[in-house]
Structure 1
Amino acid sequence: MAEGEWVTYRRMPHRPVEVMHAHFERHAYHLHSHETYSFGLTEFGAQGFDCRGASRVSAAGMVMAFNPDEPHDGHAATDVGFTYSIVHLGTELITDVLSDQSGRPTGLPLFTDPVLPDPLLSSAVRRLYATLIGPGTELAADEALAATVAAMVRRGARRPLVSSAAVVRGGAVTDIARRVRATLADRYLDPLSMDDLAAVAGCSRFAMYRAFRACYGMAPSEYQRILRLRAARRLIAAGRPIAAAATEAGFADQAHLIRWFRRCYGITPGVYANAA
């Protein structure tokens, strides 16, 4: 980590919730996505990122909202870098928070703009982060989660989320992309080739590649790496040694896992292992 940069990371016990607080100046996130909803607050400076085919900037006081599986990168947009906090929330928690009075799910939200310049939401995310890292009770944390999710959905989203992809295209292109995605999910540990995926998709290699990028915002190989990173996170959270998690998640070695973990998540596997 470059001089002047810092990061803290915590995983919440008994909840699919992870929180991060960081300051970066030279670190640049590689294109990646999360399987969670992610709500971030830029506290100082400004960060730039590409998302949904456009360049975005989140300046101090702005909130970022990423849907599950939404590809994005990130870097400092000013010479002084940026400080931000971000909360990752599992979709099952969002479903629980948004269920109706009888407990029936009402559908997941879709955040249509990844940058929300809304002071009310800035305050909500700030309070949520403070509650999650503070010495408060589990009840207070759950109440803050419910209040923040409700505010985010009410002011920044539409419902329901019809697909976990950030951009969904119709017809044959979508069918091709979904078949490839399902194969990657089932076989992310395998050394798949373009020919393998084209056979599943029932089209040429490059038609398969174009369809997948159009629907999911990244190449199949990048998505496979994201799936391996997610597997490594689960293994590390469960207590597996980092070297073993690297091997079991499909990485060539521990160094390979560390390099991509840092590029995509801004922290090392060791920091993540100690975040509980």
Structure 2
Amino acid sequence: MPHSAHNTQLATREHTQYGYVDGAGIEVLHARFEHHRFATHAHDTWAIGAVLRGAKDSMTSARQPSIVNAGEVYAIPPHVAHAGMSIGNHGCEYVMLYVPDAEWQLQCDIHSVSPHAFSQPVKMRRAMAPFVQFAALSMQSSHMSSTWPDEWALLCEAVLGSMNDRDASAQSSSIVADKRLRDVQAYLQAFSGRNVPLDELAREASLSASELCRRFTAAFGLSPHRYQLVLRLKTAKHLLLDGVTPSAAAAATGFADQSHLGRHFKAVFGVTPGAVARRNSARTF
């Protein structure tokens, strides 16, 4: 097979679709990857995943793999650092929902399920079809804008309704950091449109740069640099959803150019800024 044809075939085996549900603030990724490896990052929402085919390593721990197989559902709490990659030679197809903390907590309360019940993957083959359906509808904003409460309730019933309340043995993801670190976190959030030098952060915390890095990473799972990079990427994503062009979003969030933004955006979110911009007129990406 010619080399170019082989590359084309590989490209067609990988795909991503991203949807956004306005009323709920839920983002949806339906993807199939073979070779893509996500850079370490953290979300400010719950990441609720369902693996449809193949297997993936959610990489929530540097010490041991976190393997999720086909037919399993898992959840990563807000602010927990993780990466991700497919396992084996056949790739991995999955649906991932990014659900605001208050909404996930509410649905878990409704169904008397611990929010941490999916800290370890749970076999739920019957939930795969509702995940796919919800993802497909999230790509059709004109339909989803009026029907999302019902569709979301159906998905939660499929995922949570059959679960008994269980006390997860995993450690709570809530982080008790000292005030200096919380101040640094707030400072990075306030200035997410630019690169904040480490010495500036160290002055804000009244710590040495090395001590700040050590304590911040221990508290939040990401170094100050990685934390602010992810914040800037999130800011760029929201700008793209609001109709800003990729080049303008890159300039507004402190990236050198659109290509610079694109490399990091794809590493964290799995899709390009252009894919977000193309979908924004339908309020999905």
Q: TM-score, normalised by structure 2?
A: 0.79
Distance between the aligned counterparts of 1:213 and 1:72, measured in 2? 13
Q: Secondary structure at the match of 2:213?
A: helix
**Which of 36, 44, 55 is residue 35 of structure 1 equivalent to?**
44
Q: Is 2:19 the partner of 1:16? A: no
Matched, 1:88 2:92: no
Mark the runs of 5 or more structure 1 residues left unpaired by the alignment.
Answer: 101-108
Q: Which residue of 2 aligns with 1:195?
A: 199
- Between stretches 35-44 and 173-182, larger displacement belongs to 173-182
Structure 2 stretches lacking a partner, 5+ long: 1-7, 138-142
Confirm whether residue 133 of structure 1 aligns to residue 136 of structure 2: yes
* Stretch of structure 1 that moved more, 143-152 or 179-188: 143-152
Alignment of 1:99-248 (within 5 A): 110-111=115-116, 114-119=119-124, 122-124=125-127, 126-134=129-137, 137-147=147-157, 150-151=160-161, 155=165, 166=173, 168=175, 174-248=178-252
Deviations 1:17-57 (A, max 9, x none): 12121111111101112222111111111111321444311
Query: Shift in Å at residue 11 of structure 1?
Result: 1.4
Q: 1:208 to 1:42 in 2, by over 3 A?
A: same
Displacement of 1:91 in angstroms is: 2.8
2:14 — aligned with what? 5
Percent identity, please: 26
Number of residue pairs the alignment of both structures matches? 260
Distance 1:261-1:58 versus aligned 2 partners, 3 A rule? same
Q: Deviations over 1:74-102 (max 9, x none)?
A: 112212121111111123433554678xx
**Aligned-pair Cα RMSD in Å:** 3.0
What displacement does 1:16 show? 0.5
User: Where does residue 104 of structure 1 map in the other structure?
Assistant: none
Q: Distance in 1 between matches of 2:248 and 2:166?
A: 41
Q: Would the alpha carbon gap of residues 47 and 128 (structure 1) be closer, same or farther in structure 2, given more than 3 Å must change?
A: closer
**1:95-125 Cα deviation digits (max 9, x unpaired):** 554678xxxxxxxx75376432232xx5336
Assess, with a 3 A threshold, how the Cα gap between structure 1 residues 260 and 215 changes in structure 2: closer, same or farther: same
Distance 1:69 1:236 in 2: 22
1:254 aligned partner: 258
